Amino acid sequence: MPRSDNLTGALLMMGSMAAFTFNDAMMKGLSGSLPVFQAMFLRGILTTLMVALMAWAMGALAQSLPRADWKPVFWRIVGEVGSAYFFVTALYHMPIANISAIMQALPLTITLAAALFFREPLGWRRMVAILVGFIGVMLIVRPGTEGFNIYSVYGLAAVAFVTLRDLATRRLSRDVPSMLVTLITSASIMVAFGLASLTEPWVPVDGRAAALTLGAAVMIIGGYLCSIMVMRVGEISFVAPFRYTSLVWALILGWVVFGDWPRTVTLIGAGIVVASGVFTLYREAQVNRRARAARQRELSLGPRPR
């Protein structure tokens, strides 16, 4: 029996989330071995080399970036560098499941930011879902409690920078080669953290740290490839909710590898965020389907007589 496109898309999305979460676990494993800037720079070298090979194989190196897209690419780089710094720093000091749970708020923040800055329509149902989701985030972060620390704020900052990155990506024209943008971004991250690593003493890299760094780079590339293939199969409304499987992987890896298990209130908050995000994605898919159906009706009716 042939596998449906939706099932293939769901498997690819789950594979992508698994790869990215394994990358997170490997980076967290470096927390006692390498400083953040050094670890990010070394991983950036390997990742940039792999992306460059992929871009060359796909012919992206022969293409150029349109002048109109320089500004969105710049802000995309700012978002990537900022999110990488805040996320990995928080990852070094927080349980992997906790920071992963905070990052699940991304569909909510992106939907809200798109409505605020791009005037994209946002109905009251999705607005309520976003507000409920933010309550879930507060249960995870718990400001003012004993479990609250600065690294919870770093997690929220990472969400803000990823939102900036995704909004900038939306402003790119359709003619922009995605692999070229990815290579520029990867190289920029490498350079930024390479310069930042000069501000702190370097630590010798032993075999374990080298293996974890290489593994993290491979996982990032694997996650990226799966995420590209996801866009080519299946319906987004069906596939998108499977991005939340990253939280399942984070819970498993946090427990098995690091011996961490979130508090009950954190799990409740994560459940609220996930449910709000799934509902937001579902409503967005409904709105998009209705808009497409309306456009098709207008096209089928043809131009109105004057």
pLDDT at 224 over 90: no
Q: Domain limits at 275?
A: 64-175+263-301
Low-confidence winner among 27-36, 143-152, 206-215, 277-286 (lowest mean pLDDT): 143-152
Question: Greatest CA span in the chain, whole angstroms?
Answer: 77
How far apart are the C-alpha atoms of 271 and 283, rounded to whole Å? 18
10 contact partners, CB below 8 Å, separation of at least 6: 234, 238, 239, 242
Span 114-146, pLDDT tens digits: 888 888 888 888 889 999 999 999 999 887 666
For residues 175 and 25, the model is more confident at 25
pLDDT at 147: 64
Integer Rg of the chain from CA: 20
- Mean per-residue pLDDT for 104-117? 89
pLDDT at 32: 85
36 belongs to a structural domain:
no
Percent over 90 (pLDDT), the chain: 56
232 belongs to a structural domain:
no
Give one word for 288, left, alpha or beta, with left for phi > 0 and alpha for psi -120 to 50: alpha
142 belongs to a structural domain:
yes
Tokens standing for residue 241: 């909710």
Tokens standing for residue 274: 């996930």
118 belongs to a structural domain:
yes
pLDDT at 228 over 70: yes
Span 140-192, pLDDT tens digits: 988 766 667 899 999 999 999 999 998 998 888 877 888 888 899 999 999 99
pLDDT at 1: 46
How far apart are the C-alpha atoms of 288 and 126, rounded to whole Å? 13
B/e letters for 186-213, b = 16+ CB within 10 Å, e = fewer, are: bbbbbebbbebbeeeeeeebeeebeebb
113 belongs to a structural domain:
yes
The angle at the Cα of 223, spanning 103 to 5, to the nearest 5 degrees, equals 100
107 belongs to a structural domain:
yes
274 belongs to a structural domain:
yes
Span 181-191, pLDDT tens digits: 889 999 999 99
Q: What is the tally of structural domains in the chain?
A: 1
pLDDT at 23: 96
197 belongs to a structural domain:
no
